[in-house]
Amino acid sequence: MMKANLILRQSLFLLFCSLLSLPAFATTVRLQTNLGDIDILMLEQDAPKNVANFLTYVNNGDYDNSIFHRLIYGFVLQGGQYYSDGSKLLNIPANAPVVNEFKVSNTKYTVSMAKLGGQPNSATNNFFINLNNNSANLDFTNDGFTVFGKITQGQEVVDTIASLYHQCSECEPLYKYVGVKPGLDNLVYINKAYVLSDKFQINAGLSGAWFNPATNGQGVYLEVLPTSKVIVAAWFTYDLLPPEEGASAQIGAPEHRWLTLQGTYNEDTLELSNLALSEGGIFDSGEPVVHSLFGHAQIVFDSCERATLYYEIPNPALSGSIPLHRQSGDNVALCEQLEQAANHGDSP
């Protein structure tokens, strides 16, 4: 019996680990400009250090409210040097230079790191979009310019920006310029740069009752606490018969009432959470309820209306998964709104 329990625990541990280590999807960064969105697929296999460097600036918010400060028609559109505080342009602080990782050719709509002349390993915060096939030039200059991304959506936005008027051969593109002295309102901004998520984002709109229609006498009532990224939940079932006086609750027995769980969440998953068995307590009385750790659980949300509960209870040996459906649709619209905001880089 002990050997069987050990094998069960090992199998469940591997199951949970596999759920937590599913292959990652390719990272995409969205540049939300005042002329439309530009999505850049990160080439993490080809230029891992340069991708990490770029994502550091993105995740720190350094490119938010920044501008495209250099346009050369038919050649490159460059950003990453300046941002606006609302009244003036300031330099984006540069981190330590990143090593050159030239591998992918500088073809049209690829994104590369800018660097100092004659210094291959000098790239910091400046990046540029290739507006043409620049491989004959940039692949052989300064040990090659590192391509770290490719534009997958928003090529028409790039084309629009690249066609704007600018006052010199390497000046910033001007938007809604009417021939007077250009101001901050005439610049092309990256209002926000953020990493797109391909996963569902847990949010406060998920709070409420969930159940499996096939066994609708039980379910999970959960509360999402977005500030602390915690979910508190009660997994409940109904008694078939009242327990005998003095009987101790057992998992799966008719007298069992509920389990509680609490854990942190990330994106679509309530991480491995301790299950607590709740015993004691009498209706409308002050008798204390005793909680004892009894296993682990995980909840993975597919949408605002569907989720799966995975559980492992070592003694007695119970494990498996339960499909959960939203019991009420009242909060679905709120959930979808908050999930969309989270995927757009905003706080829910």
Q: What's the whole-number mean pLDDT along residues 34-62?
A: 96
- Are the C-beta atoms of residues 41 and 54 closer than 8 Å to each other? no
* Number of domains into which the chain is organized: 2
Check whether residue 272 and residue 138 sit in a common domain: no
218-264 pLDDT, tens digit per residue, is: 889 999 999 999 999 998 865 555 556 666 655 555 555 678 889 99
Residues 172 and 291 in one domain: no
pLDDT for residue 194 is more than 70 = yes
pLDDT at 294: 81
| Residues 79 and 191 occupy one common structural domain | yes
122 and 257 both lie in a single domain: no
Q: What local confidence, expressed as pLDDT, does residue 33 receive?
A: 97
| pTM of model > 0.85 | no
Which tens digits make up the pLDDT trace of 82-95?
999 999 999 999 99
Q: Are 289 and 173 in the same domain?
A: no
The answer to whether residue 193 scores a pLDDT higher than 80 is: yes
Q: What is the CATH number of the domain that holds 82?
A: 2.40.100.10
Amino acid 290: pLDDT: 79
Q: Which of 177, 196, 215 is the last residue of a domain?
A: 196
**pLDDT tens, position by position, 60-84:** 999 999 999 999 999 999 999 999 9
Cβ(290)–Cβ(279) below 8 Å: yes
**Cα separations (Å) of 117 from 95, 114, 128?**
18, 9, 15
Q: Judging by beta carbons within 10 Å of its beta carbon (0-12, 13-18, 19+), is residue 285 exposed, middle or buried?
A: exposed
CA distance linking residue 170 with residue 70, whole number of Å: 5
Same domain (yes/no): 178, 241: no
Question: 209 pLDDT exceeds 90?
Answer: yes
Type of residue found at 314: P
Find the domain containing 329 and state its range: 2-23+200-343
Are 72 and 192 within one domain?
A: yes
At residue 101, the pLDDT reads 98
**In-domain check, residue 348:** no
Instruction: Based on the fold, state whether residues 97 and 125 are members of the same structural domain.
Output: yes
pLDDT at 142 over 50: yes
**Measured between alpha carbons, how far is 340 from 326 in angstroms, rounded to an integer?**
19
Confidence category of residue 14, pLDDT binned at 50, 70, 90: very low
Share of the chain above pLDDT 90, in %: 63
Domain boundary among the residues 179, 196, 213 is at 196
Phi, psi of 195, rounded to the nearest 5 degrees: -85, 125
* Whether residues 247 and 285 fall in one domain: yes
pLDDT value at residue 286: 79
- Which of the listed residues 168, 196, 224 is the one where a domain comes to its end? 196
Beta-bridge partners for 345: none
- Angle 150-154-157 (CA atoms, 0-180°, nearest 5)? 120
Residues 247 and 309 in one domain: yes
Same domain, 10 and 80: no
Q: Looking at the predicted structure, is the pLDDT value of residue 30 above 90?
A: yes
pLDDT in tens, 267-280: 899 987 888 877 76
Q: Say if CB 262 and CB 287 are below 8 A apart.
A: no
89 belongs to a structural domain = yes
Residues 322 and 284 in one domain: yes
Q: Give the mean pLDDT of the chain.
A: 86
Q: According to the model, what pLDDT value does residue 98 have?
A: 98
